[in-house]
Amino acid sequence: MTLRLFIFRHGETEWSLSGQHTGHTDIMLTKHGEEEARKLGTRIAKIDFSHVLVSPLQRAKRTCELAGLIKFSHKEFGLTEWDYGDYEGRTSADIRTIRRGWNLFHDGCPHGEMPLQMSNRVDRLIALLENLDGNVALFTHGHLGRVLAARWIGLSVDFAQHFLLNTASISILSYEHNQPSQPAILLWNSTVASIPQMLAEPSFQRKPQKADAVIKPQAIERWENEGGSLISLYSGSRWRHGTDQAKRYFKPNLPLEFQSDL
């Protein structure tokens, strides 16, 4: 049976909310984090897991418990979060006040784990996981999960900075065409709320305009020079396009729907 690694990051904690690096500090989930974990359990309730492996830290164990899989679980120390050493409990912004340009995935942590150490630890974890089959649940942490994804597809730890991972998210690692020689990412950072939250951010919002459609005169002129024609009447808040060609070029704004089985 094809191996599929389900990476479940633990639910929200006070420090994940504040951006403080949380390695060995055994912090609890917030009430919202517990609710996230329950919703995660609902999403994965119909999946048949052959193995359930959990970080020994309570935020991961509690997430596993609330997701309904704790009785099937086994402790796996390889899933423990990055050891932040001297930077434990500090935010990235705070760290950069004493170490300009610091980046976890480049620079690591004094008296903690360096990127090469993290890479070697995750490679040992992957060697263990490759001996399993079926759907394998991994209840783990943000930075560990990101490094696992990077190493799974043969990238260095440095690339893990590009794989963002929300709390209580679902990600799946497996193979293309079921071929172990072609490791792939099947799903990444899927949460119930991730897309609505993302689209609610100011950078995704449409900026106010004087009209719903603003067409630069140069664009109209270029289009007409290329054989197009545009008969437009502005009425109320909509452009009405008078030709079939115009209808092909100017589409109404349609709502986007994001659907997922998970």
State the chain's mean pLDDT as an integer. Answer: 84
Range 176-193 burial, b when 16+ CB lie within 10 A, else e: eeeeeeebebebbbbbbe
* Contact call for residues 89 and 116 (beta carbons, < 8 A): no
**Is 12 labeled as catalytic in the residue annotation?**
no
Every domain of the chain with CATH number 3.40.50.1240 lies at 4-200
Domain 4-200 fold: Rossmann fold (3.40.50)
Q: Please state, in angstroms and rounded to a whole number, the distance separating the CA atoms of residues 104 and 110.
A: 11
3-state helix, strand, coil in the chain (%, to 5): 40, 15, 40
| H or E stretch at 171 | strand 170-175
CA 123 to chain centre: 21
Burial label for 15, CB within 10 Å (0-12, 13-18, 19+), is middle
Q: What is the pTM of this model?
A: 0.76
| Chain-centroid distance, C-alpha 111 | 28
Does 10 participate in catalysis according to the annotation? yes
User: Residue 262 to residues 12, 49, 170, 189, 259: CA-CA distances in angstroms?
Assistant: 19, 15, 8, 11, 9
Structure-block tokens of residue 262: 């998970």
The single residue of 10, 21, 141, 241 carrying the catalytic annotation is: 10
Give, in degrees to the nearest 5, the angle at Cα 182 between 133 and 148.
Answer: 65
- Sorted by sequence, the CB contacts under 8 Å of residue 255 that are 6+ apart come out as none
Using CA atoms of 43, 49, 51, 54 in order, give the dihedral in degrees to the nearest 10: 10
Q: Minimal CA–CA distance to 5: which of 215, 186, 200?
A: 186
pLDDT tens sequence for the chain (262 residues): 899 999 999 999 999 999 999 999 999 999 999 999 999 999 999 999 999 999 999 999 999 999 999 999 999 999 999 999 999 999 999 999 999 999 999 999 999 999 999 999 999 999 999 999 999 999 999 999 999 999 999 999 999 999 999 999 999 999 999 999 999 999 999 987 655 555 566 654 555 554 445 555 555 566 556 665 544 433 333 333 344 443 433 334 433 333 345 6
Pair type for strands 49-54 and 135-140: parallel
The separation between CA 30 and the C-alpha centre of its own chain, rounded to angstroms, equals 20
Give me the count of residues in the chain: 262
Query: Is residue 164 within 8 Å of residue 9, measured between CB atoms?
Result: no
Catalytic residue among 36, 65, 76, 81: 81
